[in-house]
Amino acid sequence: MIETEIRFAVPDGMDSSVTQHYFAAIPGPGEYNRTTYFDTSDNALWNNGIEFRVRTNGMKHKQTVKTRIAGTSSFMRNEFEKEIESEQPDLTHLHSVLPPELRSAVYPAQFRPAFRTEIRRRKRIVEKDGNTIEAVHDRGWIVAGRTSTEIDEVEHELQQGGSQWLTDACLSFLDAVPCGLQTEGKAARGFRLATGANPVPAMAENVFVPSTAPLPEAIVAMMRAAYAQVLANQSALLLTGDIEAVHQMRVGLRRLRSVLSAFAPVLDLSGAPDLLSETKALFARLGDVREADVFVSETIAAIPETALDARRRQILDREVHRYRDRAYADVANYVNGPRFGRFAVRLNGWIESGNWLRNAAPVDRLLRTRPVADFAASRLSEMERKLIKRGRRALKGTIDDWHEARIAAKKVRYAGEPLAMVMSPVSAGRGKPKFTKGLARLQDELGVFNDFSNVPAFLARVRETVPKNALGGFGEAAAFCAGWSTAEVGHAVHRLEKSWKKFEDEKGVLQS
Amino acid sequence: MTLTICVINGKGGCGKSTVSTHLAAGLASSGLQTALMDRDRLRGATRWHKLRPKSAARVNLVRWKNDFEDIPVGTQRIVIDCPASLRQSRVRELVAESDILVVPILPSVFDEHATKLFLEKLSAIKKVRNGRKSILVVSNRHRARSLASQRLDEHLRSLGHEPFARISDRSVYPQLAAEGLTVFDRQTSAMRELQEEWMPLIEEIETSIRLAA
SS3 A440: helix
SS3 content of chain A, % helix, strand, coil (to 5): 55, 20, 25
Q: Which residues of chain A are at the B interface, by a Cβ-Cβ cutoff of 8 Å?
A: 265-266, 360-367, 369-371, 374-375, 377-378, 381
ipTM: 0.89
Flag if B31 and A365 touch (Cβ within 8 Å). no
Q: How far is B199 from chain A (nearest CA, A)?
A: 7
Q: What are the residue ranges of helices labelled H in A354-398?
A: 372-395
How far apart, in whole angstroms, are the C-alpha atoms of residue A194 and residue A188? 10
More confident residue, A173 or B42: A173
Question: Among residues A220, A153, A159, which one has the least CA distance to residue A188?
Answer: A153
Task: With beta carbons less than 8 A apart as the criterion, state whether A434 and A511 touch.
Answer: yes
Question: b/e for A116-128, b at 16 or more Cβ within 10 A?
Answer: bbebebbbeebee
- Taking only residues 94 to 153 of chain B, the set having a beta carbon closer than 8 angstroms to any beta carbon of chain A reads none
| pLDDT of res. B96 | 84
Flag if B30 and A374 touch (Cβ within 8 Å). no
SS3 A499: helix
| pLDDT of res. A430 | 53
Lowest mean pLDDT among A454-463, B60-69, B124-133, B166-175: B60-69
Sequence letter at residue B103:
V
Closest residue of chain B to A363, computed from CA coordinates: B30
Peptide bond into A108 cis (omega under 30): yes
Sequence letter at residue B110:
F
Question: b/e for A13-27, b at 16 or more Cβ within 10 A?
Answer: ebeebbbebbbeeee
Flag if A361 and B184 touch (Cβ within 8 Å). yes
Angle, CA A68 vertex, CA A66 and CA A71 arms, to 5°: 150
DSSP state letter for A362: G
| pLDDT of res. B150 | 87
Task: With beta carbons less than 8 A apart as the criterion, state whether A44 and A109 touch.
Answer: yes
Average pLDDT of B34-55?
92
Sequence letter at residue A246:
V
How far apart, in whole angstroms, are the C-alpha atoms of residue A174 and residue A171? 5
Question: Among residues B12, B39, B30, B18, which one has the least CA distance to residue B176?
Answer: B18
Flag if B31 and A381 touch (Cβ within 8 Å). no
| pLDDT of res. A108 | 67
From chain B, pick out residues whose CB is under 8 angstroms from the CB of A375: 31
How far apart, in whole angstroms, are the C-alpha atoms of residue A323 and residue A330? 10
DSSP string, A13-77: T-HHHHIIIIITTS-SS-EEEEEEEEE-TT-HHHHTTEEEEEEEETTEEEEEEEEE-TTS-TTEE
pTM of the shown model: 0.90
- For residue A140, the cross-strand partners are A119, A151
Flag if A363 and B30 touch (Cβ within 8 Å). yes
Q: Is the pLDDT of residue B213 over 80?
A: no
CB atoms within 10 A of CB A100: 6
Residue-wise pLDDT for B65-108, tens only, equals 655 567 888 899 999 998 877 777 777 888 888 899 999 998 88
Name the helix (H) or strand (E) containing A503: helix A471-505
- For residue A6, the cross-strand partners are A156
Provide the residue-wise pLDDT of chain A in tens; the chain has 512 residues: 899 999 999 999 998 899 889 998 888 888 999 999 999 999 999 999 999 999 999 999 999 999 988 888 889 999 999 999 999 999 999 999 998 888 877 776 789 999 999 999 999 999 988 899 999 999 999 999 999 999 999 999 999 988 899 999 999 999 999 999 999 999 999 999 999 999 999 998 888 888 889 999 999 999 999 999 999 999 999 999 999 999 999 999 999 999 999 999 999 999 899 999 999 999 999 999 999 999 998 888 888 888 888 888 999 999 999 999 999 999 999 999 999 999 999 999 999 999 999 999 999 999 999 999 889 888 888 899 999 999 999 999 999 999 999 999 988 888 888 888 877 544 444 556 678 888 889 999 999 999 999 999 999 999 999 999 889 989 999 999 999 999 999 999 999 999 999 998 887 777 76
How far apart, in whole angstroms, are the C-alpha atoms of residue A56 and residue A32? 9
Cβ contacts below 8 Å, chain A against chain B, sum to 48
- A361 φ, ψ to 5°? -95, 155
From chain B, pick out residues whose CB is under 8 angstroms from the CB of A360: 187
Strand locations in B95-184, DSSP E?
A: 100-105, 134-142, 165-168
Tally the C-alpha atoms within 13 A of residue A470's C-alpha that lie toward its C-beta.
Answer: 20
DSSP state letter for A367: G
B35 touches chain A (CB under 8 A): no
pLDDT tier for residue B42 given thresholds of 50, 70 and 90: confident
DSSP state letter for B99: S
